[in-house]
Structure 1
Amino acid sequence: MEQLNSTMFAPNISSTPGPPRLASLDTIGAVVVLSICFLLGFPGNIAVIIFKLKQEHLTSVSQSLMLNLAVSDLLCLLTLPLWIYTLLESWTFGLVACKILAVLVYCSIYGSMLTVTALSVQRYIQVVYLQRSLQEGKKRLLALIWLVAMILSIPALVISQLTTDLPSTQCRFRYSSNSQRVATLLAEVLAGFASFSVIAFAYISLHRKLNQTAFFNNPQTTRLVTSIVVTFFFLWMPYLIMNMLGIAAISLNDNGLMTMYLENKNIFGALTFVNSCLNPLLYAFASRKLQRR
């Protein structure tokens, strides 16, 4: 998830000098998307934490996962003002803050992705195996989610550096070699596709089960399930495709592909943050419909 501008966000993976940020339509687009994400996602996730967890239609496991999702999304969104400022001006907070915030963003985004995956599996188990759930291993599941998220975030700690060879100081990813860059991009691609594969399998299987069960067979529920998968796909797939484009550009030593990658990665990375805004609505609403029996 190199995600946002800076590949995932703040730490842009480009290591070569470029034009001032404001001169780039890519940067302006990323700033606009990030600003909207913060303004909508921040209060949205707080609302989930305050109100949604008290509703009786959510099981204990679903409540915990919903809370974990809201917290991880909120942590990610809280860093956006700093990244927005950096995109428009410069990084003035030092190297330690650069590394800490880069890790926090990656960890929260991976935590969100893994939680979404766990929610999908939980819903599938609840509907298909009515009396079975992840209840007994709830605490271990949450601990595992954050442990895996932290492990996947280690590269951000290593490669986040301050660059002074640009018009302004920036917190960016600095790779020691092309191999290191490819490995980082590939790890993000594999993590993203692995999560999407599990989610798609769970919901496709659930969709088949719902169609076979008259109690669950209603168009509204089908639309809700479909919207979750489609939203995840369209907000994440462009970013993952850009990562694959970057890998291809490096592997083929193709300047044209690299230019295309560098010019578009910020805006596609910014789109992944929209997921943090939509998660509260999609998952709270879907939980109510899918768990109502």
Structure 2
Amino acid sequence: MDNFWFNQSDYEYEVVEPCTYQNNHSVELLVGQYVHSIICILGFVGNSLVIVTYAFYKRTKSMTDVYLLNVAIADLLFVVSLPIIVYNKLSSWSMGPVACKLLHGSYSVNLYSGMLLLACISTDRYIAIVQARRSFRLRSLPRSRLICAIVWTFAFLLSVPTFYFYNWYEPLHTQDVYMYDGHEKNLTTPQFVCEFRFTNNSTAWTTKVAVPSTQLAVGFFLPLLIMTVCYTAIIVKLLSVRNFQRHKAVRVVMAVVVVFVACHLPYNIVLFYDTVIMFQHQMCEASDALQVAKTVTQTIAYLHCCLNPVLYAFVGVKFRNHFRSIIQDLWCLGKRYIAPRRFSRVASEVFVSTRRSVDGSSDNGSSLTM
């Protein structure tokens, strides 16, 4: 047997394993299975009721109605895509590259459109209350539909990097290979992920800073600034009027702003900190703690899609009446299905009378859904 030797200094290298993020994975598993499920169910029910109400019971008669309908559509699309993203995030991504791009891209579009539409609602309420003399000229349905189209287009353009750079691939650190007859053989089942992937470092640096920075600026601080300015002026205007309903409206306005800040501010603070230290060296424990903070605060931000129907729609008396009509009609249809011969005429009469009472109610298209 021939003797052989090698110089160890020629092969010195340091193997650094990626962080396991065990704490974050445990939190994601708990949140993904339970909290996200509750958010998806409540968000789906609430936003579906808003869409059904506008489709069958309440026509869109004002700019606020158009904005509320579009917010409900954005939130509904968000809660529909969320469980699929969470499931594939907790396990290997099994839906292929097309679904990877579409789901994460639509998530980004719905995020931007929903936040910008909330800013549009605050602007519309400002015009209706503070600039009441100009409201009839500025608040028209064609203009509101045009603004919504611009918002959705702008949200899509902001989401182009997400559509482009999100890819379906197998990370190198998950591959366990060996050489056999000069060919590589994989020892493990491929574990695919759906994440950002770049061809060079400069693109990675630019995109990884630009995407969260844009989300912070356009997806949070801009709507927050518009809402703060508009609702502050609205509160000042309402407090100058001695009326019980106006003071009730002030409380509703305050609730809208407080809930918006409470839901989104923690996540955006963590996102800002993560963006600042993104390319700095961190210990695995500190990086794991940061990921846990992002997971928890992001879940709190998701709660806003469940609260939007309550804050913007069901707070209003008229909307609650429409909601009751939906429940009554569903109850009557259920009785008709169970005992059609006995209840068919009664159900029809109740259904028609309910629809008449709802459609005949006065609706002046007020911007305050109180």
Superposition TM-score, scaled by structure 2 size: 0.68
Instruction: Name the counterpart of 1:12.
Output: none
Tell me whether 1:178 sits opposite 2:208 in the alignment. no
State how 1:5-44 maps to structure 2 within 5 Å: 18=20, 23-44=25-46
State how 1:47-66 maps to structure 2 within 5 Å: 47-51=49-53, 54-55=57-58, 59-66=61-68
- The structure with higher relative contact order (CA 8 Å, sep 6+) is 1
Of the three residues 134, 157, 168, the one matched with 1:162 is: 168
CA distance in 2, matches of 1:64, 1:142: 8
CA distance in 2, matches of 1:292, 1:32: 32
Tell me whether 1:134 sits opposite 2:139 in the alignment. yes
Residues 133-168 of structure 1, C-alpha deviation per residue, up to 9 Å, x if partnerless?
Answer: 431512210111101110111121122122422483
Residue 161 of structure 1 contacts residue 173 of structure 1 at CA under 8 Å; is this kept in 2?
Answer: yes
Residues paired across the two proteins, number: 276
Instruction: Name the counterpart of 1:255.
Output: 282
| C-alpha spacing 1:173/1:25, structure 2 compared with 1 (3 Å) | same
Instruction: Name the counterpart of 1:46.
Output: 48
State how 1:58-207 maps to structure 2 within 5 Å: 59-131=61-133, 132=135, 133-135=138-140, 136-165=142-171, 166=174, 168-174=191-197, 176=201, 177-191=204-218, 192-207=220-235
CA distance in 1, matches of 2:23, 2:288: 16
* Paired residue secondary structure (2:278): helix
Letter in 2 for 1:190: A
Q: CA deviation at 1:179?
A: 3.4
* Paired residue secondary structure (1:278): helix
Q: CA deviation at 1:218?
A: 4.2
Instruction: Name the counterpart of 1:8.
Output: none
Tell me whether 1:277 sits opposite 2:306 in the alignment. yes
Instruction: Name the counterpart of 2:255.
Output: 227
| C-alpha spacing 1:30/1:249, structure 2 compared with 1 (3 Å) | farther
* Paired residue secondary structure (2:132): coil
CA distance in 1, matches of 2:209, 2:99: 25
| C-alpha spacing 1:59/1:129, structure 2 compared with 1 (3 Å) | farther
* Paired residue secondary structure (2:191): coil
Residues 32-63 of structure 1, C-alpha deviation per residue, up to 9 Å, x if partnerless?
Answer: 3321111101011110111257448x742121
Alignment gaps of 5+ in structure 2: 1-17, 175-189, 318-365
Q: CA deviation at 1:265?
A: 1.5
Instruction: Name the counterpart of 1:212.
Output: 240
| C-alpha spacing 1:63/1:168, structure 2 compared with 1 (3 Å) | same
Q: CA deviation at 1:292?
A: 7.2
State the structure with more CA Rg. 2
| C-alpha spacing 1:152/1:23, structure 2 compared with 1 (3 Å) | closer
The root-mean-square deviation of aligned C-alpha atoms, in Å, is 2.6
Moved more, 193-202 or 86-95: 86-95
